[in-house]
Chain A
Amino acid sequence: MGKKWSPVQNNRFVAPKSRFMSLYQPKTRFNVLKLPLIGPLLRWRWGRLIFQSVLLIVAVLLLYDGFSGPQFAPENLSTVVTWIHYRGIIVFGFLLLGNIFCMGCPFTMPRTLAKRLAISGRRWPKFLRNKWLAIGLLFFFFWAYEYFDLFASPLLTAWVILGYFIASFFLETIFSESVFCKYVCPLGTFNFVSSTISPLQITIEDRNVCNTCTGRECLNGTTAMGQPGNPITKNGAVISLDSIDVLGCGTELFAPRIKSNLDCTLCLDCVRACPHDNVILGARNPLKEVKEGTWPARWDISFLVLIFTFSALGNAFGMVGPVFQLEAWLANVLNVQDEALPLLIIFGVTNLIMPIGFGLLAAWTSRALAKREEPIRNTLARYVPAFSPLAFSIWLAHYGGFHFLGSAAAISPVFKNFLEDHNIYFLGEPNWTMAAIVPLNWLDPMEMGIILVGLLASLYVLGERAKKAKPKKDKTLAQLPWMLLLIGITVAAFWIFYLPMEMRGVSIFA
């Protein structure tokens, strides 16, 4: 997470007076960047651009079909790819690799252009340098997804994609850092929390190299360097920095102090910028970060993780019958015809009030049972990372299990239909029976299994974090409120997933 350095002229960060600061160099099993083919591709100056270009082509295709294609969600690439494949692929990506979408995010492609057009290069306001805005936008996104039935509207889905491009571009233009990724983007916020259980992380190979580094190119980029009398050498030769021109970390993470995937977009700019080849993409135990990591004891981060957890329930709850009955009851009580307010109340309770309320209650009880005298914020921060595995497992079961495994093959007939509508027939006739890529009767047990594994991982992390409590470890009694909360969330997830799905949403734009 963040650093304590002060920005100076040209938004360049300088090292503190004490050269030998606390640098983090975990034991790394292997460096992905040393793999043949993949490593050189990732390290290549234009490596990210290749991934981004592929996703940009996909995004343009989705925009095209969303705006101009049939406004029928099951047959439009915009809705099928966005709500089935995007969500499914990213959750499996977190599980197997890391934040791969942010790595190839096409929305940030205009970043370099925006930087060159920067009006003032100003800093993001201090009062917004936290996760509150991101939490608000994430909440709004989930509400809007249900209220506007985005999954049923190709047109609105296309507008969402276009909105991302525009918002990213303007924020990158106005501000000197990647504020869109770090403080605004709901997708990025979702991805950051999810990637805390990913097996890959940016770190360093040798802390001594960082200790003697003066340029901090991983943070500043090579464009900020090239100062007279301060040449950077590699293998004994002075590097011409002007010819490299690589941006440093957009979210202002300093590679040798990264202990968490939070805020890391996996853009690998730090890797490319480091003239010493000392920044690596290392493999780690997927639970290492949540088990050992020390996230800042900040309200916004703790509540973000809890809200991420309860939103997994809220989002799934929006797909089952009782939510419609509840909506209808609320609409009747409130005497409103529109579902905006009832939905806001339902999501307000499930996605905001419950996580904050239960989180504070568990922290207060846990602190009392441990007989500690510490701010509630610290108790909360100690145990909140334990929610990441369970939360992610619920999202994985929903997006990866139900939607992706249950529907991924639908891309075949939809794409063939798209081609046919453009008089392209070489792929053959669409076979509309294609949808699931696993037998449908596997889905329920798989989803339950995934959630159960998530619970077990969370309970394990909880125990490990209790052991690390200072000045003395927390006994089981102090963990009890958290255990109950984790088990309660799991039971709620089981209940929701076992309910028959009820997919409503006839878009007003259909």
Chain B
Amino acid sequence: MLRKLILLPSLFVLLTACGGRNSNQANNSNLDIAVDVESMMVGATDLMVTILDENGSPVNDATVSIKGDMSHAGMQPVLGESSSGSAGVYTIPYEWTMAGDWFITVDVSRPDGETASARFDFSGIGGDMEGEMDHGDMDHGEIEMEMDGEEMESGSE
């Protein structure tokens, strides 16, 4: 009896791991998305989202939405949107509202229905108390993530 009871939670874990929640965020394109940011300090800044198609040509007709979340639960996200790209770059006003670790989620949709979504890690946003030197050493320039099964890079440099 006890053995069966031990198995129950294990079974639950396996079941949830095998058939759990799937995000509806669809990626049906091979767009390359990169995010650059002017400042990694708390306060206002601009996010530059660069979008290239599979041939490496800039995409200027997309609507780009961004959502900035901290790594932990509960903080109000920072939202932004742009639908006017220039040379594939969409500039979106943004604000790091708190020091710490952030994620930027970029959603792209094109007039032909093509959509893409990607998330970028921006760990180590600096606070007012810390000097620029602290952040000069931070390794946030190369952020790897996976989209459509392929690794892509995003960088602030």
Binding stretch for chain A, among B10-18, B29-37, B55-63, B148-156: B10-18
From residue 4 to 61 of chain B, which have CB atoms closer than 8 A to chain A? 5, 9, 12-13, 16-17, 19-24, 42
In the complex, which residue of chain B has the Cβ closest to the Cβ of A110? Answer: B5
CB atoms of A84 and B73 under 8 A apart: yes
B133 is an interface residue with CB less than 8 A from chain A: no
Chain B residues lying within 8 Å of A190, measured Cβ to Cβ, are none
Chain A residues lying within 8 Å of B2, measured Cβ to Cβ, are 117, 173
**Which interface residue of B16, B24, B72, B75 has the most chain A CB atoms within 10 A?**
B72
**Which interface residue of A74, A84, A149, A510 has the most chain B CB atoms within 10 A?**
A74
Rounded to whole Å, the gap between the CB of B76 and the closest CB of chain A is 3
In the complex, which residue of chain B has the Cβ closest to the Cβ of A88? Answer: B74
Chain A residues lying within 8 Å of B73, measured Cβ to Cβ, are 73-74, 76, 79-80, 83-84, 151-152, 407, 410
Binding stretch for chain A, among B85-93, B108-116, B123-131: B123-131
CB atoms of B23 and A502 under 8 A apart: no
B147 is an interface residue with CB less than 8 A from chain A: no
From residue 52 to 69 of chain A, which have CB atoms closer than 8 A to chain B? 63-65, 67-69
A506 to B102, CA, bound (A): 9
A63 to B8, CA, bound (A): 13
A322 to B127, CA, bound (A): 10
Chain B residues lying within 8 Å of A422, measured Cβ to Cβ, are 21
CB atoms of A435 and B74 under 8 A apart: yes
Contact with B along A163-179 (1 / 0, CB 8 A): 00110010001000000
Contact pick for A433, options B79, B100, B124, B127, CB 8 Å: B79
Chain A residues lying within 8 Å of B23, measured Cβ to Cβ, are 70, 421
Contact pick for B123, options A72, A418, A433, A506, CB 8 Å: A506
Contact pick for A165, options B9, B20, B22, CB 8 Å: B9
A166 to B6, CA, bound (A): 8
A187 is an interface residue with CB less than 8 A from chain B: no
CB atoms of B21 and A403 under 8 A apart: no
A432 is an interface residue with CB less than 8 A from chain B: yes
The number of residue pairs between A and B whose CB atoms lie closer than 8 Å in the complex comes to 136
A420 is an interface residue with CB less than 8 A from chain B: yes
Contact pick for A68, options B20, B69, B98, B99, CB 8 Å: B20
CB atoms of A502 and B127 under 8 A apart: yes
In the complex, which residue of chain B has the Cβ closest to the Cβ of A319? Answer: B100
CB atoms of B17 and A500 under 8 A apart: no
From residue 212 to 237 of chain A, which have CB atoms closer than 8 A to chain B? none
Rounded to whole Å, the gap between the CB of B91 and the closest CB of chain A is 21
Question: Main secondary structure on chain A at its contact with chain B?
Answer: helix
CB atoms of B16 and A152 under 8 A apart: no
A326 is an interface residue with CB less than 8 A from chain B: no
B142 is an interface residue with CB less than 8 A from chain A: no
Rounded to whole Å, the gap between the CB of A462 and the closest CB of chain B is 35
In the complex, which residue of chain B has the Cβ closest to the Cβ of A510? Answer: B71
Rounded to whole Å, the gap between the CB of B84 and the closest CB of chain A is 23
A403 to B127, CA, bound (A): 19
CB atoms of B71 and A506 under 8 A apart: yes
Chain A residues lying within 8 Å of B129, measured Cβ to Cβ, are 321-322, 499-500
CB atoms of B21 and A410 under 8 A apart: no
Contact with B along A79-118 (1 / 0, CB 8 A): 1100110000000000000000000000000000000010
Chain B residues lying within 8 Å of A406, measured Cβ to Cβ, are 74
A503 is an interface residue with CB less than 8 A from chain B: yes
Chain B residues lying within 8 Å of A162, measured Cβ to Cβ, are 9, 12-13
CB atoms of A501 and B20 under 8 A apart: no
Rounded to whole Å, the gap between the CB of A425 and the closest CB of chain B is 10
Residues A73 and B98 in contact in the complex (CB < 8 Å), given A166-B9, A433-B77? no
A28 is an interface residue with CB less than 8 A from chain B: no
Residues A500 and B42 in contact in the complex (CB < 8 Å), given A418-B21, A421-B23, A506-B101? yes
CB atoms of B99 and A501 under 8 A apart: yes
A68 to B123, CA, bound (A): 25
A152 to B123, CA, bound (A): 13
CB atoms of A410 and B98 under 8 A apart: no
CB atoms of B67 and A80 under 8 A apart: no
Residues A84 and B98 in contact in the complex (CB < 8 Å), given A421-B22, A422-B21, A432-B67? no
B70 is an interface residue with CB less than 8 A from chain A: yes
In the complex, which residue of chain B has the Cβ closest to the Cβ of A413? Answer: B77
CB atoms of B76 and A433 under 8 A apart: yes
A505 to B5, CA, bound (A): 35
The contact sample of 16 A-B pairs, CB cut-off 8 A, is A63-B12, A69-B21, A74-B71, A83-B73, A117-B5, A162-B13, A173-B2, A433-B76, A433-B79, A501-B100, A502-B100, A503-B72, A503-B99, A505-B71, A506-B101, A506-B121
